[in-house]
Amino acid sequence: MKSIKLQFIFLLLIINRTGFTQSINQDSAWFRDNYYKIEKAIPMRDGIKLFTSIYIPKDSSEKHPILMQRTPYSCAPYGVHEFLALAGNYVLNYLKEGYILVFQDVRGRWMSEGKFVDVRPFIKIKKATDIDESTDAYDAIDWLVKNIPSNNGKVGVLGTSYPGFYAAMAAASGHPALKAVSPQAPVTDWFIGDDFHHNGAFFYMDAFDFYVAGGFGRPHPHPLKVETAMPDPYDSKDNYKFYLSQGADKNLLKFTGDSIAFFKELYQHPDYDAWWRARNARNAQFEIKPAILVVGGLFDAEDCFGAWNLYKAIRKQSPETNAKLVMGPWYHGQWGSIEGTHLGNIEFGANTSHTYQNEIEIPFFNYYLKGGKDPSITRATIFFTGENSWRHFDSWPTDQAKEEKIYFRENNELSFTPPEKKMGYDEYISDPAHPVPYTEDVHFNRTREYMTDDQRFASRRPDVLSYQTAVMKEDFTIGGPVIADLISSISTTDADFVVKIIDVFPDTLSYNRVNIYAVDEGEKPYPMGGYQMLVRGEIFRGKYRKSYEKPEPFQPGKTEKIRFSLTDVAHTFKKGHRLMIQIQSSWFPLSDRNPQKFTDIYTCNDSDFQKSSIRIYRDSQKASAIILPVISGRPE
């Protein structure tokens, strides 16, 4: 989740204020001149009271819709004379439309009473006294429409990241006043694909930073406005060096003490057991009544899985729900910033965030809460990188995409033609003492730009296999889930498998601009010729190849099928480019290291780590492939 999530107050980022002093003063003065603030402790059905900040238009000549966010990150600033600093933020557009803005500290966080529970399980069949996040949302909405002056009886809920989870739970509340909900990059499943695990592999850099270094989830026995900072656990600003020096996963527990319960619980549930299944937000997506706008980023390093898969769950489990999906070329929350023209070294051709805010989100809420003009949003509005354009679909995954296998071939080639030789494989040694880094440069915090980073550094390593097509003679577009369908044998009893989909740029390509975001070259243009753009990467913990619930060891030397889904893609490989696929067995320190021994990785010892020889087969009987959702074109 990383510390960026702690910066979310409404749903998005506040801009850098340098050079905007006059605008800030004008916006702040307008906000105070036209709104007043009240703070209420709203009672829930079990008597617990949740602290709520409410900004109400002074104009009572008309009725106003309510737009609410429920958050674990604090609805500060506290005090009826303290206003949110929204200058430069597009949220001001909601104020100028006359919305009542509501922010609520969820149960057990900050100024709210009760006990906080991470991703509190949804209770489908409730008793009168049962509570979950859907009941808290229901009770809050009910109080608001009955007690806030000049409201029009219509409520919307939205939130990004963890607040996106609370938005999804609000959608399941069933309150008749709730007309529109937008879960944005919602936390959906923390074992399969969001934040702290990907296909069972522990993303411990994010988990450690969020819970241990950041101190999220420390108990609040009493409501509080300010929390003391946690001691700094880091003895190095090089994250690769720091996590490698810690050794086995269990050694990180020495930093937690007894205060961070959920970080310890991650260690106590190594497999996808009932505890994890209860924390899958998709469990709540039945009979959803309000209109839904699910939003996410193609390059969201934290909750990309959540956006795609919450939408799919709603479409499957509530087929009558008016649900829309918007996926843009964004990092976590970038759709709410003022800057949506690029990510890292990759250009998008226009300010995609501005398009989203003004042509999709605000018109969506205006239509359902104010009776505004129908924005005619298609079921799936997806930005395709490479071609840098929005496409509109009646469904997602789209039936325009056809599954096609692209095979690994000799000489590091990729082909839609299956291999013909009776024997063939490629092999590398995976050494946990020297894991493959997730990015080339030295960083302290996990970067968001790694999602589009240049992969040339990895293709030069002997423990990374790289396969590529010939130069494309026409544009080649894929859209939907990508399936890794590998045949492998290993010399040990466990290993991880990382698959990366890469767009290889022509050697002559240049953006013709100074890239101030280049990490290692100051303000010099980054060399884009031959750039290997990461389009999608994903890891899979091999022992879960048959079941996430019941892991099984490998038999050394025995061939096994490794099949898993990469999070959906939407990309066009332009004429003159190549498609590359890389395979490796570590992605450090995004994910923890697999000791490559079948064991409980959370409790194993440093002595359990060992090298493994990994073979990827590519012959007529054992043909490893990647299944691509092909919309148009062919790279050969």
Q: Give the model confidence (pLDDT) of 404-436 as tens digits.
A: 999 999 999 999 999 999 999 999 999 999 999
300-348 pLDDT, tens digit per residue, is 999 999 999 999 999 999 999 999 999 999 999 999 999 999 999 999 9
Structure tokens at 252: 């990180």
Residue at token pair 């890891």? 539
513 falls in which pLDDT band (50, 70, 90)? low
Quote the pTM value: 0.94
Max avg pLDDT among 1-10, 146-155, 505-514: 146-155
CA distance between the termini of the chain: 40
Q: Quick: pLDDT tens for 522-558.
A: 456 889 999 999 999 999 999 999 999 999 999 999 9
Q: What is the DSSP string of 539-551?
A: EEEGGGSS-SSS-
- Residue corresponding to tokens 């800030």: 24
Domain ranges of the chain: 3-12+30-189+279-393, 402-632
pLDDT at 509 over 90: no
Are the C-beta atoms of 461 and 406 separated by less than 8 Å?
Answer: no
In this structure, which CATH number among 1.20.1250.20, 3.20.20.70, 3.40.50.1820, 2.40.110.20 belongs to the domain 3-12+30-189+279-393?
3.40.50.1820
pLDDT band per the 50, 70, 90 thresholds, residue 25: confident
pLDDT tens-place string over residues 239-272: 999 999 999 999 999 998 777 889 999 999 999 9
Q: What pLDDT is stored for residue 512 in this prediction?
A: 57
Q: Which band of pLDDT confidence, cut at 50, 70 and 90, is reported for residue 18?
A: very low
Average pLDDT over the chain reads 93
Per-residue pLDDT tens over the stretch 171-213: 999 999 999 999 999 999 999 999 999 999 999 999 999 999 9
- Beta-carbon contacts of 520 under 8 Å, excluding residues fewer than 6 positions away, are 441
67 within 8 A of 152, measured Cβ to Cβ: no
Best CATH choice for the domain 402-632 from the list 2.60.120.260, 1.10.540.10, 3.40.50.2300, 1.20.120.1200: 2.60.120.260
The encoded tokens of residue 318 equal 């509530």
Exposed/middle/buried for residue 520 (C-beta within 10 Å: 0-12, 13-18, 19+): exposed
Q: Is the omega angle on the peptide bond into residue 329 within 30 degrees of 0, that is, cis?
A: no
pLDDT at 45: 97
